[in-house]
């Protein structure tokens, strides 16, 4: 199987490549059908997904069976001040990939976000809940979802949240760095969601790639917590002790309105390929044992 991975240098792209090369994830062995897959990893330096002509030419020449789109403009606050770039990458870039996938009969797996929802829920969002983004980032990703589904009938849209991996910047590494530098950290305690290990997400994307169970999915770590809870667990597992203090979102204002409650339920996974996502506490414990930062 020829698999194209955009955003290959990011957290998720790295995990996909690692799993495909080794044949296993931290959850377990991957299906034998993925063995010997030919990888087509690209990032913005080799293929700008917002360039429609370049995307069309690359896909036409290489003819992948599956395109996994991990590329995105994920600077949430940056999207508020530079909506045009957010639109070009998170919406038009997805449209370009969807059109190109359709032209060669490829499956498209597009990774989206909890930010497509209003973030004022009282129970975990399921796949049929209406999107209602409250930020430029969320709006650009919501439009990307529409484009992905509109132009290629072989499409999976997979929403995730609070992602962390071994390569690149993330919340876990930031917490550990700040504690080392300052002896402690203050984190908001009124925003709830699902921490998600990129290795677990990659495992499920590859399982989906072997199916024709197209549609919208949620794929996040099991269980929910606040950012404060998450940071406290990171500090505890890292051996820093009780050095995390809580605050409110009002006390820590940002240019972007963050979701107060954006937990996702992996309902579609449970109904199709199976939900093997680890509990967030188990996943972060394994991560802390292995991460180098």
Encode pLDDT of 143-201 as tens digits: 999 999 999 999 999 999 999 999 999 999 999 999 999 999 999 999 999 999 999 99
8 Å CB contact between 217 and 127: yes
Q: What are phi and psi of 245, to 5 degrees?
A: -115, 145
What is d(CA 54, CA 198) in angstroms, rounded to the nearest whole number?
A: 28
Residues 241-265, mean pLDDT to the nearest whole number: 95
Q: Please write the tens of the pLDDT for every residue from 9-47.
A: 999 999 999 999 999 999 999 999 999 999 999 999 999
CATH of 2-170+194-223+262-279, one of 3.40.50.700, 3.40.50.2300, 3.40.190.10, 3.40.50.720: 3.40.50.720
Catalytic residues: 137
Name which of 92-96, 122-126, 190-194, 255-259 the model is least confident about. 255-259
Contact 50, 92 (CB under 8 A): yes
Any idea where the domains of the chain sit in the sequence?
Answer: 2-170+194-223+262-279
Q: What is d(CA 137, CA 87) in angstroms, rounded to the nearest whole number?
A: 9
Computed on alpha carbons and rounded to an integer, the radius of gyration of the chain in Å comes to 18
Whole-number percent of the chain with pLDDT over 70: 100
The per-residue pLDDT for 293 is 84
pLDDT (average), residues 206-225:
98
The 10s digit of each residue's pLDDT in 68-117 is 999 999 999 999 999 999 999 999 999 999 999 999 999 999 999 999 99
Q: Which pLDDT score, from 0 to 100, does residue 186 have? A: 98
State the average pLDDT over residues 119-140: 97
Please give the biggest Cα pair distance in the chain.
Answer: 55
Mean pLDDT (the chain, rounded): 97
pLDDT above 90: residue 292? no
Three-class SS state of 215: strand
Query: What is the DSSP code (8-state) at residue 50?
Result: T
What are the residue ranges of helices labelled H in 247-290? 267-271, 280-290
Structure confidence at residue 257 (pLDDT): 87
Burial class (CB in 10 A: 0-12, 13-18, 19+), 239: exposed
């Amino acid at each position: 199987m020829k698999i194209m991975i955009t955003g290959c240098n990011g957290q998720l792209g790295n995990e996909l490549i690692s799993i495909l090369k080794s044949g296993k994830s931290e959850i377990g062995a991957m299906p034998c059908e993925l063995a010997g897959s030919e990888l087509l990893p690209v990032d913005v330096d080799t293929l700008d997904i917002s360039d429609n002509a370049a995307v069309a030419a690359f896909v036409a020449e290489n003819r992948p069976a599956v395109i996994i789109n991990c590329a995105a403009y994920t600077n949430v606050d940056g999207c508020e001040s530079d909506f045009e770039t957010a639109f070009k990458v998170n919406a038009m870039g997805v449209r370009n990939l969807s059109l190109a996938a359709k032209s060669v009969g490829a499956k498209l797996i597009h990774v989206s976000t909890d930010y497509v929802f209003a973030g004022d829920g009282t129970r975990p969002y399921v796949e049929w809940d209406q999107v209602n983004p409250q930020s430029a980032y969320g709006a650009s990703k919501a439009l990307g979802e529409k484009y992905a589904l509109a132009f290629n009938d072989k499409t999976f849209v997979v929403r995730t949240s609070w992602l962390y991996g071994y390569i690149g910047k993330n919340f876990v590494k930031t917490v550990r760095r700040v504690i080392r530098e300052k002896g402690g950290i203050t984190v908001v305690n009124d925003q709830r969601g699902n921490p998600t290990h990129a290795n677990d997400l990659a495992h499920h994307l590859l399982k989906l790639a072997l199916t024709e169970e197209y549609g919208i999915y949620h794929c996040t770590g099991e269980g929910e917590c606040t950012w404060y809870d998450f940071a406290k667990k990171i500090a505890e597992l890292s051996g820093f002790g009780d050095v995390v203090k809580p605050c409110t979102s009002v006390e820590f204002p940002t240019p972007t309105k963050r979701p107060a409650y954006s937990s996702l339920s992996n309902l579609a996974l449970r109904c199709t390929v199976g939900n093997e996502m680890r509990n967030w506490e188990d996943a972060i414990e394994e991560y802390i044992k292995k991460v180098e930062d």
